[in-house]
Amino acid sequence: MILDQFRLEGRVALVTGASRGLGQAMALALAEAGADVSALATRDCAETAARIRQLGRRAEAIAMDLSAPGAPQEAVRRVLDGFGRLDILVNNAGIIRRAPFLEVSERDWDEVLTVNLKSVFLLSQAAARHMVERRSGKIIHVASMLSFQGGIRVTPYTAAKSGLLGLTRIMANELAPLGVQCNAIAPGYMATDNTAPLRADERRNAEILARIPAGRWGTPEDLSGAIVFLASPASDYVNGAVLAVDGGWLAR
């Protein structure tokens, strides 16, 4: 049956930035599909882990700053020590700093690029080494509309998310022959903490909604189907793709 291709029983996932918002919703979706999940964030992931256990799955909460030296490699070791395997990596953790281009500080540039791109590369590399040994694995990056567009007042974020697009493709090229699929999800404008300032700005909020064919902001749960698809055997022949979940934003 085709629905069996979307089942994740026996698989272990690591989801970063899983304490709330998009990361928490994706972690829960993977658990609902049958996966055991390590939920990682700089803040406490206990709530996410508890909700995963309520679904009958094993869960681990990892509090870790992935920008710290050696942290990405340690995160993978923690998952392997706790679960014995790692089948799915979801690189969702990210930060944003807003400022006009002429006022972006070097510190903000470095912090955003480190968290949103460098840490993703290092964590993916550590996970892929394990996956390649088993010739099986799924790595999913969380990109953005700003992987395709420039945006305004978010220079480091746009640079990092554009870099993720390239990283997705080079990883697909090199890892697909070794049994590991790498793809990305590009969420549109989602109602999360990161977008709270935009939603609070009546003019900007109206401009954004006017361009979304679906006529609404997305919710974290809107990513559930996409993440399960890309993490499951149903996507075994999908490599280097970026799936926009944007209410039609890019089509406008």
Instruction: Give me the residue label for tokens 């799955």.
Output: 57
Any idea of the CA torsion for 202, 98, 149, 159, to the nearest 10 degrees?
A: -170
Hunting for tokens 């953005």 — which residue is that?
144
Beta carbons of 55 and 32 less than 8 angstroms apart:
yes
Strands (E), 93-251: 137-142, 180-187, 242-245
Interatomic CA distance for residues 59 and 65, integer angstroms: 19
Is 157 part of the annotated catalytic residue set? Answer: yes
Q: Are 34 and 58 in contact (CB under 8 A)?
A: no
Chain centre distance of CA 80: 20
The residue whose two tokens read 């996966």 is: 35
SS3 137: strand
What are the DSSP E strand ranges found in the chain? Answer: 12-16, 36-41, 59-63, 88-91, 137-142, 180-187, 242-245
83, 157, 217, 249: the active-site residue: 157
The rounded distance, in Å, linking the Cα atoms of 27 and 20 is 10
Catalytic site positions: 157
